Amino acid sequence: MPKIAKSEDEWRRELTPEQYRVTRAKGTERPFTGAYWDTDEPGIYRCVCCGAPLFGADEKFDAGCGWPSFSAPLAAAQIDEAEDSSHGMQRTEVTCGQCGAHLGHVFPDGPRPTGLRYCINSASLRLEKTTK
């Protein structure tokens, strides 16, 4: 599937200022403020920029960190990971594999069986609710 490429002006027109700041300018929302940090509704979390399916509600857990946390993506090909040494920290950035939107970071302190915690900004997601 080809990557989605848009100009910064196109992204600005399509996203809210907060969505743009987080996804295109690699920002972070404040903890415990995003729409999905404490949501437990069933569904699929999609990229707010391009609609790619990224995470399933079944993989979401309460990490106590104030951001939505997932133990695994729906499919490894849906996300990209890169080393991030910004802000004096060594982390692994997670971006949408389809459009390059900044989603958040992944840490090696999650639950079994993956041991991973994908700490994702609510502003980068759109929950497509499903019924159980």
Q: Is the pTM of this model over 0.85?
A: yes
pLDDT in tens, the chain (132 residues): 568 889 999 999 999 999 999 999 999 999 999 999 999 999 999 999 999 999 999 999 999 999 999 999 999 889 999 887 776 778 889 999 999 999 999 999 999 999 999 999 999 999 999 876
d(CA 105, CA 25): 15
Q: Give 84-118 as a DSSP string.
A: E-GGG--EEEEEETTT--EEEEEES---TTT--EE
Dmax over CA atoms of the chain, in Å, equals: 42
DSSP letter assigned to residue 2? P
Query: Do residues 29 and 121 lie in contact, with contact meaning Cβ atoms separated by under 8 Å?
Result: yes
Q: List residues with catalytic annotation.
A: 119
Domains of the chain: 8-129 (2.170.150.20)
> What is the Cα–Cα distance from 33 to 30, expressed in whole angstroms?
6
CB 78 within 8 A of CB 70: no
